[in-house]
Structures are given as C-alpha cells and as structure tokens.
Chain A
C-alpha cells in the first residue's frame, strides 16, 4: 500500500516539477528544430515514465499477496512480446528519424556562412576573422609568442589581413549563418552558448567546427564545456549579436595582423622592461587568472597590488614587495591570499623575466 502511494507520489512530484521548473534557456538561434525534437522526446518519455510507474503502483496493490490467492503461472506469451518489440521499435524510429534529419542539417554548413575562428586556451578565449580576402592565415604552435599570440605564419599572405580579437568578446551579425572554426593552443575545450544550443570541442592539433544563425540580438555568455583544468569554470567569453552595420563597425575597429606585426617593432616610449613583463604575463598565462583591472578572478588582481598589505589565508598580513612577489611566483603555495584558492602552479623564471614581470606589476599602480 505504502509502496503504491510512494510510486504515485514520485509520479506526481516529477510531473509537477517538470511543469513548474525553469527549463530551456530562451532560444537565440536557428536551432529551434533541436528544441522540437527535445520536446517530442520529453513528451514521449514522460508518458512512458508515468504509465509504467502507475502500472507498477496498480500491480503492487492489485497483486499483493493475499491468503488463498496464487500467482498465475504464465512464463511467456510470444505474441505479446512480439507486439511490444514492434511498438518499441516504432517509438525508437519516431524519435530517431527527426533527430537524424535535424542532425544532417547540422553537419551541412551553409555555403554563405560567415567564418569566425575561436581559439581556446587555458583559461580564456580569443577570436579571429579572415579579413577582406576571406581566408585565414596558417597557424602553428611554434610561432606563438607575445607578439603573435595567434601563431599566424607571417610568410602566409592570407594571414596579413586577419582580424584579431585577443579579448574574450566576439561580435556577430544578426540573422546571418556563422561557422565557428575551433582550435586550441593546449588542451581540450568546448565552445558552448546555451542559447544557441550547439556546442563543439576545440581540439589541440586539429580544427573542428559548428554553425548556427543568431536570431536574437543581445549579449550571451560563452562557457567552456570540456573540462580543462583548474580554471575551467572561470573560462568565460562573451558573444554580442548585433545589427549588420554595428557589426561591420566593430570589425573595422579591431586590429589586423599586419598592423600588429608592424607595431611590435616600434618603440612605444614605455620602459622596455615593463613592456617585456607585460608580454611575459600574457604568454606565460598569468593573465588567465590575474586581471589588470581590479576584478578578482582565479587569483588576485594585479591592479594596485604592489605596496599593499595583503591578508593571507593563515590570518597573517604581509607587505607586497619584490621579495613577496618573487616567492609567490616560484612557490605559490608558501603564502596564499585569503579567499583565493591555492591553485597556482609554480613557475621557474630566469632573473631577467622575473624582474620584468615584477616591473610590470609595479606599473599597475591603480592610479588610472
């Protein structure tokens, strides 16, 4: 009796939860067909779940052990079994057919799609557009350095006009199909914006892709959906969907590879040691966890860091001077700042690099 009630309670609870709970994020792409197939599956499986659980509740009541009543000896019923196999097979087809149909649309990228490259690394995103010539320049891991974070081959003419977006934010034009080419500089990552529905892993050593058409203007958060280490949960990007003209304006404002190469050779008037420190901070991955604008991330922000009194996890305070910074780089677990995870791996730097990074941190006085 209690079991029958329990099963009914489970059915009522789950059905209620289904209707009352928040559910899909609002769709912002063309992939409404995925939602349709998903909803069809929910309906069909929901019905099966309810029916079978209620049947069990009924059987538990109706066929409970009673004095004088014996179980029926019916070891098989070939006809019934065949019928059930048939019905199940039909159910499977009803789910699989639309699913495979929609999938075939997914594997066939529209020819006129805008192509964008998303480059994943621990733990941030950067992006590239192919520029006027519509072709991306070849890239190589061995070419990646502070001047060339995308690793573009300077000898490749196609790469000269590539539009570079080194920050975490990419803009896309409304209502135009976009094919996102994915690659990674280190480990597996995954490009996932829930509102667009589609996702795909970014693989080091290979290029993968997905496509979608953004149908609603807005700002969407990009999450990494393939575990990539300590900062996996902090690897946030932003996708801004806007009108075509606004998008073009945004593209025009971005840097181009040929300009970056030229600029790298000029003297900006800054202290070269500080400049070196800034470049090292980028290439060594420091900026993956330490921001320069004051926002705490995986690690404390570097803005205004030098010279302040820092509270440590053991309750003591320490003055942030050169010695402290040097120690924190070589042996980060020695002193951990309060409310931050002891997540930083140790770095062994030569004296010149260490001095440069410290100089760069010093330069972020917090007065700008």
Chain B
C-alpha cells in the first residue's frame, strides 16, 4: 500500500500526573475515562428507573413521587441510558480501548482531539446533571423532547431544564464528532501491515460502522436541537404552530411539530444501530473465543453490518406511523423496516451456526453471549410487529413499544457489555474477575429481564398507554394489569439491586482478582498479543505487529495449538505451527 504520512503529532511519553491520568492523550486512559463516566451516569439512570417502577408497581404508595417528577424521571432515564451511557460506552469506551489494539496501531490518529472528545463528554454530563438542580428541575418532556410541549408550560422543566438538556446534547454531539473522526480515520489508515479490512475482528467492524452512522446522524439532532432551543429562547417558530397555553394564545405561529419529529428520528433510528452494531461485532468475538470456532460466515457478517448501517437511514418514520404525517409514507417505511430484518436475522443464524459443532466453554462471557442472542431475538422479533405499519397502529405508544426497545437496546446490549467487560478485564487490569459472582449476576439478570419485559408486551396488547403516571382515571383497565405491573416492579428492583454484584466484582477484582497472564482466554485477536499486560503507552514496544491471518483461526485442522494469533508467523502447510 502507498506510504502514508502520519498526523502532525509529537508523541512524547506523558510525564506528570495531569498528562498521564487527567488530560491524557493515550487511547486506553481516555477509554477508561469514558467508561467510568458512562457507568456513573448509568447508575443514575438505573436509580431513576427504580423510582419509576415504584410508582407503577405501587401507585400512590410514595408521596414524593408525583406526576411532575415522575415525568422528569422517565425523560432523564431515557436520555441518560440511550445517549450518555450506551453510545458513550460503546463508542467512547470500547471503541477507544479496542480499536488501536485490535488493528495493531500505537494510538488513535488524532490523540489531542481524542482527549478533547472525552472532556467535552464529561462536560456534557455535568451540564446534564446541573439540570437536576435548576428551578423547575430537569426537563420532563419525554426523551424524544417533542415540541410544542417540551418548551411550554404544562410540562415539567420547560424552563431552564430543557435549555440545559439541549445545551448538553450539543456539547455531547461535539464530543461524539471528535471521537468518531478518530475511530474512522484510525481504522481506515492505521491498521498494521497485513491487517486488511477483511481481516479485522468483527468488534472493529461493528464499532467502525457505528461510528460512521454517528457522524452522519448526529447532525440531524444538532439541527433539531438548535432550532428547538431558538424556539424556546428567542421565540422563533420552527416547530411551534399557533397555539394556546394555559388559556392564552402564545406568540408563535407557522411552525411544524412534525418537522421536529422527522429531524429527531432521522437521528434517532440510526442511533439505535450506533449502539447495536458495536454490540453485534463484540458478541461475535466473545463467542468465538469462548467456543473455539471461527465465526460462521465472516464475510456475510461484515456485509450484514454494512447493509444494516445503510438501511438504518431509510427507516426512521416507522417511529411516526401515527404522527399524522402523510399516510402514504407508511407503505415505504414499513417495507424498508421489514427489509432491515433480513440482514439482522442472518446475523442471528450465523451466531447460532457458530455455536453449532463448536466446543463451548460456559464462561461468564459465553453465558452473556448466549443471553444476548436470546434477548436480542425476542426484542428483534417484536420489531416485526411495530414495523408492519398497520400492526403498529394499535400498539404504538403502549407498553408493547417499551418492552420492544428495552429488550433490543437496553437488555441485549447490556448483556454484551457485561460479557465484554468480563472478557477484557484481564487485558485492561491484569487480573481476572470473580467467576462465582459473575455467574450469579448473570443468572439473576438473565431470568430477571425476562420477568420484567416479557409480560410488558401483554400490557401493550391490553391497550395500556405509555408515559402514564397512573391509570386512576380509567375504569376499564382490568386488575390483572396492575398485578402484572406490581410483578414487573418486584423483578425490576431485584435485577437493579443485583447489578451491585457486578459493580462489586469489578471493584474487588481490580485490587484482589486472580492475576492473569497476557491471554487467559487464548484468543487470536491482536489486543491479546501485546508484549505487556496491561498494555503500556505505545502498546507494542519497539516494533508494530505484522498480521498474517484473519481473526478467527480457532481449531484449525492440523494445527498444534487450537488457536493461531493473528500476528503469528504463517504455518507451512502440514507441518504444525510456527512460533508466535
């Protein structure tokens, strides 16, 4: 390949505490900063969900939960989980840590910009948290922030709360853009010799395509967010029609709330794939390492990731089937949505076929990988209901939708996150996580999430609308609905508390976990072949690795070892293995 000039970066070893741990330009430190911040704010999101479930399971049982703050809980829970936890953790956390190591680079292409990106992210989280403490509290407009209600009286936090929310999002988008630039440039340009695109592990493919989606989709949210902010702060009417609020006509006119919906969902749908595609990639690598078999259909898996990425920009209005938009759009978007099911289904088949005739080790990462397939399956299948426009009409805005997106975005990706952290923990820290705690945590979580979200589909069939503080006003809702809600709450609180097991495992193992060698899972991918564990600044020592094979040489017939690392010298045919 042509010689490429590198970025104008003077990359000296960081010397002081500040440049080593705070304003570090090392991708591994930045990754940990992203991950810790995301997990912290994710815990806030988890607590908020617990508060919501308390109200739904025991309505009226808690004086401090009223309609105003309940709607603030659901809004902040949703926004935190989707954007500030999942997006930041998959792209900023895993992307930053894994990409340079898995492709054989020393660091990202633009380390200074990378450092700025994590600090912008931390700033966006601070602004978000600040919105909890302003008069009126945080916005309670629903995570979708639809105008006109998001900025008018009658919705909690329609003052400073929404302003800070939108400001925080704008800052986050700047961070995501800076990060995305790095991930994409690095994958395109800084792969080690021999690491062709079609030899990259699927984790990298998933994060890479997710980053491309992020760069292309976040701008729509930026535009929508800025325009909504202007409507609020200067009184423009991008989205605000002539309307009455609290008895008086407001000064707006001519705007279109549906325009906001289009802009939001043009971002919002790719956003779910920004989270899901890295998960798809990562789970493939987890599975292969823990069942000693190459991923079934690597090329197809790559093409499926690419196809899903492209089609994800063509389905957004399936979130708007009952929005009052031109009804004929429904035909188009239902079709594209059901088409995207095809590459997605293929991935599920290929995961299954990977397990087939493999040698499964039921380690914690493998448990979570299988947990992923099961929960992603149920979540993805219910997407077929909601994508088929006419079936969506009764189910839209009911608990069926909540069950669907939690399973497919929250639960299944979380399974991957847990498995991935467990899997890479020894690389990052040099120690293993505790096995017993890991398995206990898996079982409570796996069975628990089914208890929480499976019955929820039936609340949807029963017609229970979502985003309701309580159902006191309605007499025709059967008692069984409340019984189901109470059951779900008990399960949710149990699962919520059980996450402490995982956090404790992480913290305890960091100090006291069994020491690990450089490659405890005997995996083939490059990050496991670093000379030091944890990898030091510069990752590879004096010489960059050279890659000779794809990422999935497990159980190669005729080989002496049951795995061949990607940078191992080529094996002369029929003579067993060469030295790594």
Contacts and interface: CB of A to CB of B under 8 A. Distances in A.
* A and B touching (Cβ–Cβ under 8 A): yes
A37 B390 contact: yes
Contacts of A142: 242, 249
A88 B249 contact: no
A6 B328 CA distance: 45
Interface residues of A, number: 114
A195 B346 CA distance: 37
B79 to A, nearest CB: 14
A34 interface: yes
Given A17-B454, A92-B342, A3 B473 contact: no
Interface in A39-81: 41, 45, 48-49, 52-53, 55-56, 59-60, 63-66, 69-77, 80-81
A89 B349 CA distance: 14
Contacts of A17: 454-455, 458
Contact of B352 (A56, A73, A280): A56
B357 A74 contact: yes
Nearest to B293: A71
Interface residues of B, number: 118
A166 interface: no
A99 B68 contact: no
Contacts of A283: 247
Interface stretch (A218-226, A303-311, A360-368): A218-226
Given A70-B555, A92-B342, A230-B156, A199 B446 contact: no
A44 to B, nearest CB: 8
B465 interface: yes
Given A63-B356, A227-B467, A204 B257 contact: yes
Given A34-B391, A66-B359, A230-B67, A96 B455 contact: no
B429 to A, nearest CB: 26
Contacts of A138: none
B555 A72 contact: yes
A56 B305 CA distance: 23
A122 B374 contact: no
A242 to B, nearest CB: 17
A230 B450 CA distance: 31
A23 B462 contact: yes
A116 interface: no
A60 B370 contact: yes
Contacts of A77: 296-297, 353
B458 A23 contact: yes
Contacts of B194: none
B396 A225 contact: yes
A190 interface: yes
A153 interface: no
B513 interface: no
A122 B141 CA distance: 14
B322 interface: yes
B291 interface: yes
A332 to B, nearest CB: 11
B185 interface: no
Contacts of A270: none
Contact of B469 (A194, A226, A233): A233
Given A63-B291, A81-B300, A343-B68, A37 B458 contact: no
Interface stretch (A125-133, A180-188, A254-262): A180-188
B397 interface: yes
B475 A221 contact: yes
A69 B359 CA distance: 7
Nearest to A349: B247
Nearest to A203: B324
B554 interface: yes
Contacts of B291: 63, 71
A208 interface: yes
Contacts of A7: 370, 374
Contacts of B334: 96, 99-100, 103
B520 interface: no
Contacts of A121: 244
Given A10-B374, A99-B391, A205-B256, A224 B465 contact: yes
B523 to A, nearest CB: 14
B244 A144 contact: yes
A75 B555 contact: no
A342 interface: yes
B349 A84 contact: yes
Contacts of B156: 230
Q: Name the residue among B348, B374, B394 with the largest chain A CB count within 10 angstroms.
A: B394
A205 B244 contact: no
Contact of A100 (B142, B389, B396, B473): B389
Nearest to B451: A13
Contact of A71 (B67, B246, B358, B480): B358
Nearest to B559: A73
B461 interface: yes
Contacts of A186: 148-149, 152, 154, 243-245
A45 B381 contact: yes
A227 B148 CA distance: 11
Given A41-B391, A226-B397, A236 B297 contact: no
A248 interface: no
A302 to B, nearest CB: 16
A347 interface: yes
Nearest to A286: B247
Contacts of A187: 146-149, 152, 154, 243, 257
A107 interface: yes
Given A37-B390, A99-B334, A103-B331, A81 B297 contact: yes
A92 B339 contact: yes
Contact of A198 (B292, B348, B394, B478): B394
Given A25-B462, A45-B382, A188 B394 contact: no
Interface stretch (B110-118, B203-211, B360-368): B360-368
Interface in B231-247: 241-247
Contacts of A100: 331, 334-335, 389-390
Given A85-B342, A99-B388, A186-B245, A59 B360 contact: yes
B443 interface: yes
Nearest to B142: A227
Interface in B442-462: 443, 446-447, 450, 454-455, 458, 461-462
A205 B462 contact: no
B296 A74 contact: yes
A227 B146 contact: yes
A230 B156 CA distance: 7
Contact of A25 (B67, B463, B465): B463
Given A60-B370, A230-B71, A341-B68, A75 B346 contact: no
Nearest to A101: B390
B44 interface: no
Contacts of A298: 67
Contacts of A2: 443
B174 to A, nearest CB: 29
Nearest to B292: A71
A157 interface: no
Nearest to A338: B63
Interface string A191-205: 010110111111111
Given A71-B291, A203-B324, A230-B154, 18 more contacts: A6-B446, A7-B370, A17-B455, A23-B462, A60-B370, A65-B362, A72-B555, A73-B293, A74-B293, A74-B357, A76-B297, A76-B300, A84-B349, A141-B249, A186-B154, A199-B322, A225-B397, A225-B398
10 contacts: A6-B447, A17-B454, A21-B484, A52-B373, A100-B389, A186-B148, A187-B243, A190-B322, A199-B394, A342-B68
Interface of B: 63, 66-68, 71, 141-142, 146-149, 152-156, 241-249, 254-258, 291-300, 322-324, 327-328, 330-331, 334-335, 338-339, 341-342, 345-346, 348-350, 352-353, 355-362, 367, 370, 373-374, 377-378, 381-382, 384-385, 388-391, 393-394, 396-398, 443, 446-447, 450, 454-455, 458, 461-463, 465, 467-476, 478, 480-481, 484, 552, 554-557, 562
Q: Kindly list the 7 A-B residue pairs having the minimum CB-CB distance in the complex, ordered from nearest.
A: A205-B241, A194-B463, A284-B247, A208-B324, A341-B66, A99-B388, A229-B154
